[in-house]
Structure 1
Amino acid sequence: MLISEFADLVLGHVGSPAGRPSVLAVDGRSASGKTTLAARLADAVPGTTVVHTDDIAWWHSVFDWVDLIVDGVLEPVRRGAAVSYRPPKWDERGRAGAVVVPAGQRLLIVEGVGAGRRELTDHLDGVVWVETPRAARDRRDEARMAAGEVSRETYESWMAEEEPFVAEQRAWERAFAVVDGTSSTTVGLLSEAHVNDT
Protein backbone atom coordinates (compact mmCIF):
# COMPACT_ATOMS: atom_id res chain seq x y z
CA MET A 1 0.00 0.00 0.00
CA LEU A 2 1.05 3.61 -0.42
CA ILE A 3 2.45 5.45 2.60
CA SER A 4 -0.59 7.75 2.47
CA GLU A 5 -2.87 4.74 2.79
CA PHE A 6 -0.83 3.37 5.67
CA ALA A 7 -0.95 6.79 7.35
CA ASP A 8 -4.75 6.70 7.12
CA LEU A 9 -4.73 3.24 8.71
CA VAL A 10 -2.50 4.49 11.53
CA LEU A 11 -4.60 7.58 12.18
CA GLY A 12 -7.76 5.50 12.17
CA HIS A 13 -6.29 3.25 14.83
CA VAL A 14 -4.68 5.80 17.16
CA GLY A 15 -7.63 8.20 17.00
CA SER A 16 -7.71 11.90 17.88
CA PRO A 17 -7.42 12.32 21.64
CA ALA A 18 -8.65 15.66 22.95
CA GLY A 19 -5.93 18.13 23.84
CA ARG A 20 -2.91 16.02 22.97
CA PRO A 21 -1.20 14.17 20.13
CA SER A 22 -1.84 10.51 19.46
CA VAL A 23 1.19 8.43 20.46
CA LEU A 24 2.41 5.69 18.13
CA ALA A 25 5.29 3.31 18.83
CA VAL A 26 7.27 2.02 15.85
CA ASP A 27 9.16 -1.00 17.14
CA GLY A 28 11.29 -3.73 15.60
CA ARG A 29 14.71 -5.27 15.75
CA SER A 30 17.90 -3.36 14.99
CA ALA A 31 18.23 -2.48 11.28
CA SER A 32 14.65 -3.53 10.55
CA GLY A 33 13.65 -0.19 8.97
CA LYS A 34 11.94 1.51 11.93
CA THR A 35 13.60 4.88 11.44
CA THR A 36 12.80 4.89 7.73
CA LEU A 37 9.14 4.05 8.33
CA ALA A 38 8.82 6.65 11.09
CA ALA A 39 10.31 9.33 8.82
CA ARG A 40 7.98 8.39 5.96
CA LEU A 41 4.96 8.54 8.28
CA ALA A 42 6.08 11.91 9.61
CA ASP A 43 6.30 13.23 6.05
CA ALA A 44 2.81 11.88 5.31
CA VAL A 45 1.07 13.24 8.43
CA PRO A 46 1.39 17.00 9.00
CA GLY A 47 2.00 17.88 12.63
CA THR A 48 4.06 14.80 13.45
CA THR A 49 7.14 14.65 15.66
CA VAL A 50 9.45 11.63 15.90
CA VAL A 51 11.29 10.81 19.13
CA HIS A 52 14.06 8.22 18.87
CA THR A 53 14.60 5.94 21.85
CA ASP A 54 18.33 5.98 20.99
CA ASP A 55 18.36 9.66 21.95
CA ILE A 56 16.71 8.92 25.30
CA ALA A 57 19.06 5.98 25.94
CA TRP A 58 22.24 7.81 24.81
CA TRP A 59 25.11 6.87 27.17
CA HIS A 60 22.50 5.77 29.73
CA SER A 61 21.44 2.17 29.11
CA VAL A 62 20.51 0.01 26.15
CA PHE A 63 17.04 -0.73 27.50
CA ASP A 64 16.70 0.67 31.03
CA TRP A 65 15.21 4.02 29.97
CA VAL A 66 11.49 3.64 30.67
CA ASP A 67 11.42 6.20 33.50
CA LEU A 68 13.29 8.74 31.35
CA ILE A 69 10.93 8.61 28.39
CA VAL A 70 7.80 8.44 30.57
CA ASP A 71 8.75 11.32 32.87
CA GLY A 72 10.55 13.42 30.28
CA VAL A 73 8.37 12.94 27.20
CA LEU A 74 5.26 10.78 27.37
CA GLU A 75 3.55 12.10 30.51
CA PRO A 76 3.99 15.77 29.52
CA VAL A 77 2.80 15.02 25.96
CA ARG A 78 -0.28 13.22 27.24
CA ARG A 79 -1.09 16.30 29.36
CA GLY A 80 -0.95 18.37 26.19
CA ALA A 81 2.28 20.13 27.16
CA ALA A 82 5.16 21.02 24.86
CA VAL A 83 8.34 19.08 25.58
CA SER A 84 11.98 20.15 25.60
CA TYR A 85 13.74 17.38 27.43
CA ARG A 86 17.42 16.81 28.08
CA PRO A 87 18.12 13.31 29.42
CA PRO A 88 20.63 13.39 32.29
CA LYS A 89 23.54 12.03 30.24
CA TRP A 90 23.15 14.88 27.77
CA ASP A 91 24.12 17.32 30.50
CA GLU A 92 26.83 15.07 31.91
CA ARG A 93 28.49 14.59 28.52
CA GLY A 94 27.85 18.03 27.03
CA ARG A 95 25.48 17.06 24.22
CA ALA A 96 23.76 20.05 22.66
CA GLY A 97 20.05 20.39 21.98
CA ALA A 98 17.06 18.59 23.45
CA VAL A 99 14.32 16.09 22.65
CA VAL A 100 11.58 18.45 21.46
CA VAL A 101 7.87 17.87 20.92
CA PRO A 102 6.09 21.13 20.07
CA ALA A 103 2.62 21.85 21.41
CA GLY A 104 -0.32 21.22 19.10
CA GLN A 105 1.09 18.19 17.29
CA ARG A 106 -1.24 15.67 15.62
CA LEU A 107 0.97 12.62 16.14
CA LEU A 108 3.99 11.66 18.23
CA ILE A 109 5.96 8.69 16.92
CA VAL A 110 8.27 6.97 19.39
CA GLU A 111 10.72 4.98 17.29
CA GLY A 112 13.30 2.41 18.33
CA VAL A 113 13.92 -1.07 19.66
CA GLY A 114 11.64 -1.31 22.67
CA ALA A 115 9.33 1.56 21.72
CA GLY A 116 6.37 -0.82 21.99
CA ARG A 117 7.56 -2.52 25.18
CA ARG A 118 4.86 -3.59 27.60
CA GLU A 119 5.99 -1.10 30.28
CA LEU A 120 4.86 1.73 27.97
CA THR A 121 1.47 0.25 27.07
CA ASP A 122 -0.55 2.75 29.12
CA HIS A 123 1.26 5.65 27.43
CA LEU A 124 0.72 4.50 23.83
CA ASP A 125 -2.26 4.67 21.48
CA GLY A 126 -0.89 2.05 19.11
CA VAL A 127 2.12 -0.06 18.16
CA VAL A 128 3.49 -0.89 14.71
CA TRP A 129 6.05 -3.66 14.44
CA VAL A 130 8.57 -3.59 11.57
CA GLU A 131 9.61 -7.11 10.57
CA THR A 132 12.66 -7.76 8.41
CA PRO A 133 14.41 -11.11 7.80
CA ARG A 134 17.66 -11.62 9.68
CA ALA A 135 19.71 -11.81 6.46
CA ALA A 136 18.56 -8.35 5.39
CA ARG A 137 19.15 -6.91 8.86
CA ASP A 138 22.64 -8.44 8.96
CA ARG A 139 23.50 -6.87 5.58
CA ARG A 140 22.38 -3.45 6.82
CA ASP A 141 24.37 -3.80 10.04
CA GLU A 142 27.47 -4.96 8.15
CA ALA A 143 27.19 -1.89 5.92
CA ARG A 144 26.96 0.36 8.98
CA MET A 145 30.04 -1.22 10.51
CA ALA A 146 31.94 -0.96 7.22
CA ALA A 147 31.03 2.74 7.05
CA GLY A 148 32.32 3.30 10.58
CA GLU A 149 28.91 4.22 12.00
CA VAL A 150 29.34 1.62 14.73
CA SER A 151 32.19 -0.65 15.82
CA ARG A 152 31.82 -4.42 15.74
CA GLU A 153 32.41 -4.50 19.49
CA THR A 154 29.57 -2.04 20.13
CA TYR A 155 27.31 -3.92 17.72
CA GLU A 156 27.96 -7.27 19.38
CA SER A 157 27.45 -5.79 22.84
CA TRP A 158 24.14 -4.25 21.71
CA MET A 159 22.90 -7.48 20.16
CA ALA A 160 23.77 -9.44 23.29
CA GLU A 161 21.16 -7.31 25.07
CA GLU A 162 18.71 -6.85 22.19
CA GLU A 163 18.09 -10.48 21.32
CA PRO A 164 16.85 -11.64 24.75
CA PHE A 165 14.99 -8.34 25.26
CA VAL A 166 13.04 -8.66 22.01
CA ALA A 167 12.37 -12.36 22.60
CA GLU A 168 10.97 -11.61 26.06
CA GLN A 169 8.95 -8.53 25.09
CA ARG A 170 7.36 -9.91 21.88
CA ALA A 171 6.06 -6.44 21.01
CA TRP A 172 4.62 -7.67 17.71
CA GLU A 173 1.90 -9.34 19.74
CA ARG A 174 0.71 -5.86 20.84
CA ALA A 175 0.97 -4.35 17.35
CA PHE A 176 -2.11 -3.47 15.31
CA ALA A 177 0.04 -3.64 12.16
CA VAL A 178 3.11 -5.68 11.26
CA VAL A 179 5.01 -4.07 8.40
CA ASP A 180 7.54 -5.49 5.94
CA GLY A 181 10.76 -3.54 6.53
CA THR A 182 12.39 -4.52 3.22
CA SER A 183 10.45 -2.04 1.07
CA SER A 184 11.28 1.67 0.96
CA THR A 185 8.65 2.60 -1.65
CA THR A 186 5.45 0.97 -0.41
CA VAL A 187 4.23 -0.38 2.92
CA GLY A 188 3.66 -4.12 2.98
CA LEU A 189 1.42 -5.40 5.76
CA LEU A 190 2.27 -8.81 7.16
CA SER A 191 0.21 -11.07 9.38
CA GLU A 192 1.61 -12.09 12.74
CA ALA A 193 2.23 -15.51 11.24
CA HIS A 194 5.10 -13.91 9.29
CA VAL A 195 6.89 -12.71 12.41
CA ASN A 196 9.70 -14.99 13.50
CA ASP A 197 11.66 -15.13 16.74
CA THR A 198 15.12 -15.00 15.18
Structure 2
Amino acid sequence: MRPGPGEPIFGNWQSIPLDEFVERVLAAGPRVVAIDGRSGSGKSTLADRLASVAGGTVVHVDDVAWHAPMFGWSSLLAEGVLEPVRRGEAVAYRPPAWDVHGRAGSIDVGASLVVVEGVGAGRRELAELVDVLVWVQSDFAEAERRGIARDIASGVNGDATAATAFWHEWMASEIPFLERDRPWERADFVVAGTSPDPATVVVAGG
Protein backbone atom coordinates (compact mmCIF):
# COMPACT_ATOMS: atom_id res chain seq x y z
CA MET A 1 0.00 0.00 0.00
CA ARG A 2 1.30 3.44 -0.95
CA PRO A 3 -0.73 6.15 0.78
CA GLY A 4 -1.03 9.75 -0.37
CA PRO A 5 1.41 12.61 0.20
CA GLY A 6 2.40 13.22 3.81
CA GLU A 7 0.50 10.22 5.15
CA PRO A 8 2.42 7.57 7.10
CA ILE A 9 2.06 3.88 6.32
CA PHE A 10 0.23 2.22 9.18
CA GLY A 11 0.89 -1.41 10.06
CA ASN A 12 0.02 -4.34 12.30
CA TRP A 13 -3.18 -4.83 10.35
CA GLN A 14 -5.77 -7.18 11.79
CA SER A 15 -9.04 -8.35 10.30
CA ILE A 16 -11.80 -8.29 12.91
CA PRO A 17 -15.56 -8.90 12.72
CA LEU A 18 -17.62 -5.83 11.87
CA ASP A 19 -19.62 -6.27 15.08
CA GLU A 20 -16.43 -6.16 17.14
CA PHE A 21 -15.25 -3.02 15.36
CA VAL A 22 -18.59 -1.33 16.01
CA GLU A 23 -18.36 -2.28 19.68
CA ARG A 24 -14.95 -0.64 19.90
CA VAL A 25 -16.17 2.52 18.19
CA LEU A 26 -19.22 2.76 20.44
CA ALA A 27 -17.40 1.87 23.67
CA ALA A 28 -17.42 5.45 24.98
CA GLY A 29 -21.00 6.15 23.91
CA PRO A 30 -20.26 8.62 21.09
CA ARG A 31 -22.88 10.89 19.58
CA VAL A 32 -20.81 11.84 16.51
CA VAL A 33 -18.50 9.49 14.60
CA ALA A 34 -16.49 10.94 11.70
CA ILE A 35 -15.14 8.74 8.92
CA ASP A 36 -12.44 10.57 7.01
CA GLY A 37 -10.16 9.48 4.19
CA ARG A 38 -9.12 10.27 0.66
CA SER A 39 -11.59 10.23 -2.21
CA GLY A 40 -12.23 6.67 -3.38
CA SER A 41 -10.91 5.13 -0.15
CA GLY A 42 -14.11 3.37 0.91
CA LYS A 43 -15.52 5.85 3.46
CA SER A 44 -19.13 5.61 2.34
CA THR A 45 -19.14 1.83 2.44
CA LEU A 46 -17.67 1.76 5.93
CA ALA A 47 -20.09 4.42 7.14
CA ASP A 48 -23.07 2.47 5.83
CA ARG A 49 -21.82 -0.74 7.45
CA LEU A 50 -21.19 0.94 10.79
CA ALA A 51 -24.53 2.74 10.84
CA SER A 52 -26.45 -0.38 9.86
CA VAL A 53 -25.09 -2.22 12.90
CA ALA A 54 -25.11 0.73 15.32
CA GLY A 55 -28.49 2.11 14.30
CA GLY A 56 -27.12 5.52 13.37
CA THR A 57 -27.79 8.00 10.57
CA VAL A 58 -25.17 8.65 7.89
CA VAL A 59 -24.54 12.26 6.86
CA HIS A 60 -22.51 12.71 3.68
CA VAL A 61 -20.18 15.71 3.60
CA ASP A 62 -20.83 15.93 -0.14
CA ASP A 63 -24.46 16.84 0.60
CA VAL A 64 -23.53 19.57 3.07
CA ALA A 65 -20.79 20.88 0.74
CA TRP A 66 -22.92 20.75 -2.42
CA HIS A 67 -22.12 23.91 -4.43
CA ALA A 68 -20.03 25.25 -1.53
CA PRO A 69 -16.36 26.20 -1.97
CA MET A 70 -14.01 23.22 -1.82
CA PHE A 71 -13.30 22.63 1.88
CA GLY A 72 -15.06 25.89 2.75
CA TRP A 73 -18.06 24.20 4.38
CA SER A 74 -17.01 23.44 7.97
CA SER A 75 -19.35 26.04 9.49
CA LEU A 76 -22.28 24.60 7.51
CA LEU A 77 -21.69 21.14 8.92
CA ALA A 78 -21.07 22.45 12.43
CA GLU A 79 -24.03 24.82 12.68
CA GLY A 80 -26.48 22.91 10.52
CA VAL A 81 -25.89 19.37 11.75
CA LEU A 82 -23.32 18.68 14.46
CA GLU A 83 -24.17 21.35 17.02
CA PRO A 84 -27.92 20.55 16.96
CA VAL A 85 -27.13 16.82 17.20
CA ARG A 86 -24.96 17.41 20.24
CA ARG A 87 -27.82 19.37 21.84
CA GLY A 88 -30.04 16.36 21.32
CA GLU A 89 -32.16 18.05 18.68
CA ALA A 90 -33.60 16.44 15.56
CA VAL A 91 -32.09 17.83 12.35
CA ALA A 92 -33.79 18.74 9.08
CA TYR A 93 -31.13 20.92 7.50
CA ARG A 94 -31.10 22.59 4.11
CA PRO A 95 -27.72 24.15 3.29
CA PRO A 96 -28.09 27.56 1.63
CA ALA A 97 -27.06 26.25 -1.80
CA TRP A 98 -30.00 23.84 -1.76
CA ASP A 99 -32.42 26.78 -1.86
CA VAL A 100 -30.36 28.71 -4.39
CA HIS A 101 -30.18 25.76 -6.81
CA GLY A 102 -33.62 24.30 -6.14
CA ARG A 103 -32.56 21.03 -4.56
CA ALA A 104 -35.43 19.26 -2.84
CA GLY A 105 -35.45 17.59 0.58
CA SER A 106 -33.19 18.08 3.57
CA ILE A 107 -30.42 16.43 5.59
CA ASP A 108 -32.36 14.60 8.28
CA VAL A 109 -30.97 13.20 11.51
CA GLY A 110 -33.30 11.71 14.09
CA ALA A 111 -31.10 9.02 15.63
CA SER A 112 -28.94 9.58 18.69
CA LEU A 113 -25.83 8.59 16.67
CA VAL A 114 -24.69 10.36 13.52
CA VAL A 115 -21.93 9.00 11.27
CA VAL A 116 -20.42 11.78 9.17
CA GLU A 117 -18.43 10.59 6.18
CA GLY A 118 -16.42 12.46 3.60
CA VAL A 119 -13.06 14.02 2.89
CA GLY A 120 -12.55 16.42 5.78
CA ALA A 121 -15.22 14.91 8.03
CA GLY A 122 -12.64 14.81 10.82
CA ARG A 123 -11.03 18.16 10.01
CA ARG A 124 -9.36 20.14 12.76
CA GLU A 125 -12.06 22.84 13.00
CA LEU A 126 -14.66 20.19 13.88
CA ALA A 127 -12.57 18.25 16.42
CA GLU A 128 -14.55 19.46 19.44
CA LEU A 129 -17.81 18.28 17.83
CA VAL A 130 -16.54 14.79 16.93
CA ASP A 131 -16.33 12.01 19.53
CA VAL A 132 -14.65 9.30 17.45
CA LEU A 133 -12.56 9.77 14.30
CA VAL A 134 -11.88 6.90 11.90
CA TRP A 135 -9.25 7.39 9.19
CA VAL A 136 -9.58 5.15 6.13
CA GLN A 137 -6.15 4.49 4.67
CA SER A 138 -6.01 3.54 1.01
CA ASP A 139 -3.51 3.01 -1.74
CA PHE A 140 -3.31 6.37 -3.51
CA ALA A 141 -3.31 5.00 -7.05
CA GLU A 142 -6.05 2.45 -6.36
CA ALA A 143 -8.26 5.09 -4.74
CA GLU A 144 -7.91 7.22 -7.87
CA ARG A 145 -8.76 4.30 -10.13
CA ARG A 146 -11.83 3.39 -8.09
CA GLY A 147 -12.94 6.97 -7.66
CA ILE A 148 -12.81 7.82 -11.35
CA ALA A 149 -14.54 4.54 -12.27
CA ARG A 150 -17.29 5.30 -9.74
CA ASP A 151 -17.79 8.83 -11.07
CA ILE A 152 -17.90 7.64 -14.68
CA ALA A 153 -20.44 4.93 -13.81
CA SER A 154 -22.69 7.39 -11.98
CA GLY A 155 -22.29 10.15 -14.58
CA VAL A 156 -22.02 12.64 -11.73
CA ASN A 157 -19.21 14.64 -13.36
CA GLY A 158 -19.97 14.01 -17.01
CA ASP A 159 -18.41 11.51 -19.39
CA ALA A 160 -15.11 9.70 -18.87
CA THR A 161 -13.01 12.64 -20.03
CA ALA A 162 -14.89 15.15 -17.87
CA ALA A 163 -14.89 12.85 -14.85
CA THR A 164 -11.13 12.34 -15.08
CA ALA A 165 -10.51 16.07 -15.48
CA PHE A 166 -12.70 16.84 -12.48
CA TRP A 167 -10.87 14.25 -10.38
CA HIS A 168 -7.52 15.88 -11.08
CA GLU A 169 -8.97 19.33 -10.33
CA TRP A 170 -10.35 17.99 -7.05
CA MET A 171 -7.01 16.40 -6.14
CA ALA A 172 -5.31 19.78 -6.59
CA SER A 173 -7.34 20.92 -3.56
CA GLU A 174 -7.67 17.67 -1.61
CA ILE A 175 -3.96 16.80 -1.46
CA PRO A 176 -2.74 20.07 0.10
CA PHE A 177 -5.78 20.22 2.40
CA LEU A 178 -5.04 16.80 3.87
CA GLU A 179 -1.31 17.51 4.08
CA ARG A 180 -2.14 20.57 6.22
CA ASP A 181 -4.93 19.07 8.29
CA ARG A 182 -3.39 15.59 8.86
CA PRO A 183 -6.53 13.94 10.27
CA TRP A 184 -4.78 10.57 10.56
CA GLU A 185 -2.78 12.02 13.45
CA ARG A 186 -6.01 12.55 15.44
CA ALA A 187 -7.67 9.29 14.44
CA ASP A 188 -8.97 6.93 17.11
CA PHE A 189 -9.02 4.10 14.56
CA VAL A 190 -7.28 3.53 11.23
CA VAL A 191 -8.85 1.02 8.85
CA ALA A 192 -7.71 -0.25 5.48
CA GLY A 193 -10.06 0.75 2.71
CA THR A 194 -13.08 -1.41 1.99
CA SER A 195 -12.81 -4.96 3.27
CA PRO A 196 -13.77 -7.46 0.56
CA ASP A 197 -15.76 -9.25 3.26
CA PRO A 198 -18.65 -7.03 4.43
CA ALA A 199 -18.66 -8.84 7.77
CA THR A 200 -15.08 -7.78 8.64
CA VAL A 201 -13.01 -4.62 9.04
CA VAL A 202 -9.21 -4.46 8.67
CA VAL A 203 -7.84 -2.31 11.50
CA ALA A 204 -4.30 -1.03 12.09
CA GLY A 205 -2.62 -1.86 15.38
CA GLY A 206 -0.98 0.54 17.83
**TM-score bracket relative to the smaller structure:** 0.7 to 0.9
Q: Deviations over 1:19-41 (max 9, x none)?
A: xxx10100000000000000000
Q: Does 1:7 align with 2:22?
A: yes
Q: Does 1:58 align with 2:66?
A: yes
CA shift at 1:157, angstroms? 1.4
* 1:24 matched residue in structure 2: 33
Query: Over aligned residue pairs, what C-alpha RMSD do you find?
Result: 1.4
Aligned mate of 2:136, from 125, 130, 139:
130
Q: Out of 166, 169, 172, which is 1:160 matched to?
A: 172
> How far apart are 1:146 and its partner, in Å?
3.7
- Corresponding residue for residue 149 of structure 1: 156
Q: Measure, in 1, the Cα distance between the counterparts of 2:75 and 2:202.
A: 33
Give the secondary structure class of the aligned counterpart of 1:84.
strand
Q: Matched residue pairs, number?
A: 183
Question: Does the aligned pair in 1 maintain the 2:61–2:119 contact within 8 Å?
Answer: yes
Residue 91 of structure 1: aligned partner: 99
Contact residue 33 and residue 114 of structure 2 kept, 8 A? yes
Match of 2:204 among 168, 190, 198: 190
Of the two structures, which has the highest relative contact order with CA contacts closer than 8 Å and spacing of 6 or more?
Answer: 2
Please give the alpha-carbon distance, in whole angstroms, between the structure 2 residues aligned to 1:145 and 1:122. 32
Q: Which runs of 4+ in 1 moved over 6 A?
A: none
Does the residue aligned with 1:75 lie in a helix, a strand or coil? helix
Runs of 5+ unmatched residues, structure 2: 1-15, 158-162
CA distance, structure 2, for counterparts of residue 116 and residue 168 of structure 1:
13
Aligned identity (percent) is 51
The alpha-carbon deviation at position 145 of structure 1 amounts to 4.4
Task: Output the CA distance in 2 between the equivalents of 1:170 and 1:191.
Answer: 19
Q: CA deviation at 1:85?
A: 0.3
SS at match of 2:26: helix
CA contact (8 A) 2:32 2:131 kept: yes
Q: Secondary structure, in 3 states, of the residue corresponding to 2:190?
A: strand
TM score, norm. by length of structure 1: 0.88
Once residues 84 and 75 of structure 1 are traced to their aligned partners in structure 2, the CA distance between those partners, rounded to angstroms, is 13
The answer to whether the 8 A contact 1:136-1:182 is kept is: no
Describe the SS at the equivalent of 2:45.
Answer: helix
Secondary structure of residue in 2 paired with 1:96: coil
Question: Alpha carbons of 1:97 and 1:132: their partners in 2 closer, same or farther (altered >3 Å)?
Answer: same
Query: In 2, are the aligned partners of 1:85 and 1:98 still within 8 Å (CA)?
Result: yes
Is the Cα contact below 8 Å between 1:32 and 1:137 reproduced in 2?
Answer: yes
What corresponds to 1:170 in structure 2? Answer: 182
Q: Structure 1: 5+ residue runs without aligned partners?
A: 193-198
Q: CA deviation at 1:183?
A: 1.4
Decide which of 68, 75, 81 is 1:73's aligned counterpart: 81
Q: Provide the rounded CA distance (Å) in 2 between the counterparts of 1:35 and 1:145.
A: 14
2:47 aligned residue: 38
- TM-score of the two chains, using structure 2 as the length reference: 0.85
